[in-house]
Amino acid sequence: MTTKELKLVAAKARKLCVEAVFTASSGHPGGSLSATDIMTALYFNKMRVDPEDPKWENRDRFVLSKGHCAPALYSVLALRGFFPIEDVKTFRSIDGHMSGHAEMRKVKGVDMSTGSLGQGISAAVGMAMAGKLDKKDYRVYAIMGDGEIEEGQVWEAMMAGAKYKLDNLCAFVDVNGLQIDGPTSVVMPTEPLDEKFASFGWNVIKIDGHDFDQINEALELAEKCKDKPTLVLAKTVKGKGVSYMENSVSWHGKAPNASEYEIAVKDLDKIISELEGN
C-alpha cells in the first residue's frame, strides 16, 4: 500500500477505536491511538496473514503486549477483514466477544491473549523460538508500552531473545512518554532505552512511530538483521489524532462523553476527508 493509503486506514482505525471506547463507556484510548500506525503498517504492509484462515500455520504472528490497547488491534483486524467492522462496536459489551484486553479465544486474528503487562513479549519470544525449532519461516512481531517495560519480566525476555539469536522476532516499544500515573520519566525513568536494549543484545532502531516510511524501513531492516532480534523504539503521541487527547495522561484509560466523542469524530473525519481528497 502507498503511504497515503496506510494513513487513511490508520485514520479509520482510530475512529473505530474512539467509537468502541465511547460505546462501551470504558477502555484505553490514549495508548490505542498512539500505536495504531504501527499496527496498520504491520497488518496492511508487512505481515503474511490470511483473514479467511486466521490460524494458518505459516502466518506471521503478532502479540500486543500492552493488551489494554485492544481497541486499536480489534479495529485494525476488522479493517483487514478478519471479522465485520460492526463487531468492534460490541467492545466490552456483556453480549459481545470483544474483551477489554486482547482475546485470542473469541476474536479472530488475535494470536495471544494479553493484559498482564510484561508477559506478552515473553510469549512473542516463545513463538519465535518455536518457529526456529520447527524450521518455519514465519516472523513474530510485538508491541510493548514504554510504561510496561518497567516490568522485570520484559528484560528476562530480552535476554532470552538475544541468547537464542531470534532474528525472526521484531518488537516495538510505543514510546509515548506517558503511563497511567503520569510521565514515564517521573514514574520510573527508563532512559536511555536505546543503550539499555542494545546492551541486552538486540538490534536497536529509533523512529518516528507515526511516519509510515520510517516504520516500513525499520521493518525491512529488521528482516535483514541476522543472529539477533530487533527492537524498534517508536516515538509517538499518546491520543494521536484527537486534539484534546494528544499528550494528555488523563486519556490513558477513560471514555469520552457525548460532547467529547463528537469532537473526536470531527477531528478524525477531517483527517479522513483530507486523505480521501474530499
Rounded to an integer, the average pLDDT of 78-107 is: 94
- Angle 128-238-94 from CA coordinates, rounded to 5°: 75
Sign of the C-alpha dihedral, residues 179, 182, 188, 192? positive
Phi-psi region of 232 (alpha: psi -120 to 50; beta: other; left: phi over 0): beta
| pLDDT value at 193 more than 80 | yes
Of the pLDDT bands very low, low, confident and very high (cuts 50, 70, 90), residue 278 is: low
Domain locations along the chain: 3-276
Grid coordinates representing 13 are 482505525
Region 169-193 average pLDDT? 97
User: To the nearest whole number, what is the mean pLDDT of the chain?
Assistant: 97
Q: What is the pLDDT of residues 240-270, one digit of tens each?
A: 999 999 999 999 999 999 999 999 999 999 9
Residue 33, pLDDT score? 98
- Note the pLDDT tens digit of each residue in 23-73: 999 999 999 999 999 999 999 999 999 999 999 999 999 999 999 999 999
pLDDT recorded at residue 134: 97
How far apart are the C-alpha atoms of 145 and 161, rounded to whole Å? 18
pTM of this prediction? Answer: 0.97
Contact present, 206 and 194 (Cβ < 8 Å): yes
pLDDT digits (tens, 9 = 90+) for 221-231: 999 999 999 99
CATH (residue range 3-276): 3.40.50.970
d(C-alpha 50, C-alpha 60), whole Å: 10
- The pLDDT tens digits of the residues spanning 145-160 come to 999 999 999 999 999 9
pLDDT tens for each residue of 99-125: 999 999 999 999 999 999 999 999 999
**Contact by Cβ (8 Å): 58, 138:** yes
Q: Three-state SS across 35-64?
A: HHHHHHHHHHHHCCCCCCCCCCCCCCEEEE
